[in-house]
Amino acid sequence: MDFQTSQSNQASQSPHTFQVDLRGLVDLLSHHLYSSPKVYLRELLQNAVDAVTARRAEQPGAPARVRVRTDGGGLRVEDTGVGLTEADVHALLATIGRSSKRADGIAAARSDFLGQFGIGLLACFLVAERIRVVSRSARAPDARPVEWTASDDGSYTVRTLPDEERREPGTTVYLTARPGAAEWLAPARVLELARDFGSLLPYDVTVDGETVGELPAPWDRAHPSPAARRVALARHCHGLFGFTPLDAIDLSVPLAGLRGVAYVLPSAVSPAQRARHRVHLRGMLLTERAEQLLPDWAFFVRCELDTDSLRPTASREALYEDETLAAVREALGGRIRAWLTGLAAGDPERLRTFLRVHHLGVKSLARHDGEMLRTMLPWLPFETTDGEVSLEEFAQRHPVVHFTRTVEEFRQVAPIAAAQGIGVVNGGYTYDGELVEALPSVRPGTAVAELDADTVTAHLDPVGPAEELALSDFLAAARTVLDPLDCDVSLRAFHPVSVPALHLDDRASRHERDRAEAQARADDLWAGILGSLRGGAPRARLVLNHLNPLVRRIGSLKEPDLIGTAVQSLYGQALLMAQRPLRPADSALLNRAFIGLLEWATHEEGGRS
């Protein structure tokens, strides 16, 4: 390799500096990092509060003020913070992504800061075409004020100013609105945003002379009595979230520097609906849509809290998922769990009021928490053949706690089971089946069994041999009619007498029917495989009630066609009574039975005429 080639290679490997398209970067921030241009004011407030915090760390007696003023399409934010020197301006404002929090002497207090000065100021270009910063450093009293002026095209200037331009340490930021963004700098909008973002800030913050802060925080204010405190918190909740809560739960995690309150919703919500909570970071509103703050089961509360340890994401509009947040989530879940336990022990009437609305959330918790299930057993409502009662009360009444897997099964057997003295719990609702199965683990000695067709049939009175023999032809015809539907027919005597027939179809029989239908649709290979899986599972069963007068009259019929139509009608009526979804074959049978009855009725009418 000759000298010229080597020299050329060295030149091609020399480092280059990235060129930043500021307008493109601002567009990226507005469309992908920040949810709304309104965050510009939060960033300005954060910078001002951080500057004040930095100065007071070195000068505890320094003034702590932030003044926001609107001025005909422009905005001015002035603080009494630590200020900047000319070197700071070049290092922090002219370099994208550089943070004053990394500066020497401040790193030790970094946990006290909310944001990053450089990238935060850049967010102002979401609403401004020009930014002017005038600052005087508290660390260098002899340094003159410095001015940094930047435009949204990426150009900026830096110059020192005469002493009279700013006598006291601190920083003033001036914004000039960009076309179409003046509404974000309007006085009413600025005041609204400042109150929303800065209501819990620890310093004196005003907008056009109006105070923004509302300290102490609602959960820290003194009240003459617990009742007065509940009323005050309920009023605050209504103004914040738009509802009057059933109750307010204090939240406190000292190790995470967290304080706040959880408000219990007054109406039921879906567990799938993501709860959104308001989180302040050292007094500044971080987000009002924190979804991962509480365990999934605590979907019945909305929270507002302040913390100094949770980590924000890059946009500072959400919480970063890390070990600290996981620990806080578990601790807050423990506070809500303790509140429930306290209600059960000391205020059962409030607990009943709560459970009438939010029993689903407590059941979700109890299925994973044996202690909570044990505590809530006397209170959680379940649908049973005894009405709506707790599992504790139900287990005391019945030696065996039977349950169904689906709501349809319960509706099918509930009237019959109740008449025969069989205790059944409807396990078809969300979490209920799991909780019934977990009952022996928290109530030793309790027998739990899933209800099946054989159990129900065994509790029905058999018919005498002579009576069943007299109806043998009718029963044989009925079995022939229903055999294509994989349904057997049996005769029993049971109450209530008004029920002519009962359709019993447990999970095992449905599984076998599904297997058979899949086998019929499959090719030869899969049909053979599915056929080998055929088991001895029972088929569905139509139990005819010998005590019912209609069944007795049908049993005396002699015409085969009329017997078939009558049996089909009884089968269809039993399906409808169970509110079970109809298969295509069931719908076709009901249609045939209806048409058959009409033809028989019109034929008889014609014969009489």
In the listed set 426, 451, 476, which residue is the last one of a domain according to the structure? 451
Do 288 and 321 lie in one domain? The reply is: yes
The answer to whether 175 and 75 have CB atoms below 8 angstroms apart is yes
**Alpha-carbon span 205 to 201, nearest angstrom:** 8
Do 260 and 299 lie in one domain? The reply is: yes
Do 491 and 582 lie in one domain? The reply is: yes
Give the pLDDT of residue 26: 59
Q: Would residue 300 count as lying in a domain?
A: yes
Give the pLDDT of residue 77: 96
In the listed set 177, 210, 243, which residue is the last one of a domain according to the structure? 210
Do 141 and 247 lie in one domain? The reply is: no
pTM, two decimals, is 0.73
**Alpha-carbon span 204 to 213, nearest angstrom:** 7
Q: Cite the DSSP H helix spans in 443-559.
A: 453-458, 465-470, 472-482, 507-521, 524-532, 549-555
Do 519 and 392 lie in one domain? The reply is: no
Going 38 to 39 to 40 to 45, the CA torsion angle's sign is: positive
The answer to whether 357 and 268 have CB atoms below 8 angstroms apart is yes
Give the pLDDT of residue 454: 73
CATH number of the domain within which 203 lies? 3.30.565.10
Do 135 and 270 lie in one domain? The reply is: no
Looking at the DSSP assignment, which residues form a beta bridge with residue 218? Answer: none
Torsion of CA 115, 119, 120, 126, to 10 degrees: -150
Do 173 and 279 lie in one domain? The reply is: no
Long-range contacts of 344-352 (CB under 8 A, 24+ apart): 344/375, 344/376, 344/378, 344/379, 348/379, 350/247, 351/379, 352/379
| pLDDT-flagged residues of the chain (< 70) | 1-35, 93-120, 315, 506-538, 579, 603-609
Half-sphere exposure of 421 (CA within 13 A, CB side): 7
Range of the domain at 128: 22-210
Give residue 364's identity as a one-letter amino acid code. Answer: S
Give residue 208's identity as a one-letter amino acid code. Answer: D
Give the pLDDT of residue 4: 52
**Alpha-carbon span 16 to 20, nearest angstrom:** 13
Do 88 and 189 lie in one domain? The reply is: yes
- As a whole number of angstroms, the longest Cα–Cα distance in the chain is 123
Domain count, the chain: 4
Torsion of CA 362, 366, 372, 378, to 10 degrees: 70
Give the pLDDT of residue 540: 81
Q: Would residue 363 count as lying in a domain?
A: no
Q: Would residue 504 count as lying in a domain?
A: yes
**Alpha-carbon span 250 to 235, nearest angstrom:** 16
Q: Cβ–Cβ contacts within 10 Å for residue 152, how many? A: 17
Short-list 55, 122, 68, 113, CA closest to 95:
122
Q: Would residue 608 count as lying in a domain?
A: no
Give the pLDDT of residue 30: 52
Give the pLDDT of residue 134: 95
CATH number of the domain within which 391 lies? 3.40.50.11260
Q: Would residue 110 count as lying in a domain?
A: yes
Contacts of 218 (CB under 8 A, 6+ apart): 232, 233, 236, 261, 304
CATH number of the domain within which 231 lies? 3.30.230.80
Do 245 and 341 lie in one domain? The reply is: yes
The answer to whether 366 and 432 have CB atoms below 8 angstroms apart is no
Do 299 and 388 lie in one domain? The reply is: no
Do 286 and 324 lie in one domain? The reply is: yes
Short-list 497, 501, 531, 528, CA closest to 516:
531
Q: Would residue 444 count as lying in a domain?
A: yes
Do 415 and 483 lie in one domain? The reply is: no
**Alpha-carbon span 395 to 531, nearest angstrom:** 41
Angle (nearest 5°) at CA 11 between 8 and 13: 115
Give the N- to C-terminal CA distance of the chain in Å, as an integer: 120
Q: Would residue 372 count as lying in a domain?
A: no
Strand-by-strand arrangement of the 204-207 sheet: 156-160, 146-151, 128-136, 170-177, 74-79, 65-71, 204-207, 210-211
Q: Would residue 188 count as lying in a domain?
A: yes
In the listed set 168, 193, 210, which residue is the last one of a domain according to the structure? 210
